[in-house]
Amino acid sequence: MIRRLVIVASVTAALGGLFLFGLLRGSPDRDIESARLNRPVPAFELPLYERYHASFGPTLDVGSYLGEVPMIVNFWASWCGPCYEEAPDLQAAWEDFGGQVLFVGVQTQDRGRQQEGRDFIDQFNLGFANVIDDDSSLSIEYGLFGVPETFFIRADGTLAYKHAGPVTYELLEEQVLALTGGTP
């Protein structure tokens, strides 16, 4: 009799626990490992915002840098709150490490909102190149789950790490050191 009670109570507790887990776990974790990890990332050529034309021309051809220098590719959108949070850290990291690593910002999942994109860039006075992925095809190509997401690409063109969510200066510094083989 007691054995039966123990079995019924265990099964009920297990099912109840599973139900509560599903109920309370909130939004699903988006920090899923990229399918491109340790594989070469695709090259792309996209239009640049006007303020970068003097340095790069009207488009940025990432293919000419891939496999040559380490890169940090940050995807953002003008409607995305956490993108505003991380922008000052990205700008500060670019000021400190822009000579060692190519920083590229990609406005994506933001079709037709170039003016909002310009306002975003002006608000943080972003010095690193920012391109427009108007039809989000690059976002699909990189297997993006949402914005912001940041891809850390080795000098050989393979993906070292992908970070989902806003980045901090500390994380960027740590990743730059990992990409360049430097010491803090």
Partner 1 sequence: MKRAVFGWLAIVLLAVPAAAWAQGDSGGVVELESRVFELGRQLRCPTCTSESVGDSSSAISIEMRNEIRDQIALGKSDDEILAFFQERYGDWVLLEPPREGIHLFVWILPVVGVVAGAAGLALLMTRWLAKARAPLDDVNDEDLARVQAAMKSGPDA
- Contact residues toward partner 1 (CB under 8 A) are 27-28, 32-36, 109-111, 135-137, 139-146
CB distance 159 to 152 below 8 Å = yes
CB of 151 to partner 1, least distance (A): 13
Q: What is the DSSP string of 79-143?
A: T-HHHHHHHHHHHHHHHHHTTTSEEEEEE-S-TT-HHHHHHHHHHHT--SEEEE-TT-HHHHHTT
In this structure, how many other beta carbons lie within 10 angstroms of the beta carbon of residue 182?
11
CA–CA separation, 40 vs 43, rounded Å? 9
CB of 1 to partner 1, least distance (A): 16
**Of 34 and 91, which has the nearer Cβ to partner 1?**
34
CA–CA separation, 74 vs 138, rounded Å? 12
CB of 165 to partner 1, least distance (A): 13
**Of 27 and 115, which has the nearer Cβ to partner 1?**
27
**Of 113 and 118, which has the nearer Cβ to partner 1?**
113
CB of 180 to partner 1, least distance (A): 27
CB of 39 to partner 1, least distance (A): 10
In DSSP terms, which residues pair with 106 in a beta bridge?
Answer: 75, 131
In DSSP terms, which residues pair with 59 in a beta bridge?
Answer: 47
**Of 38 and 137, which has the nearer Cβ to partner 1?**
137
**Of 89 and 110, which has the nearer Cβ to partner 1?**
110
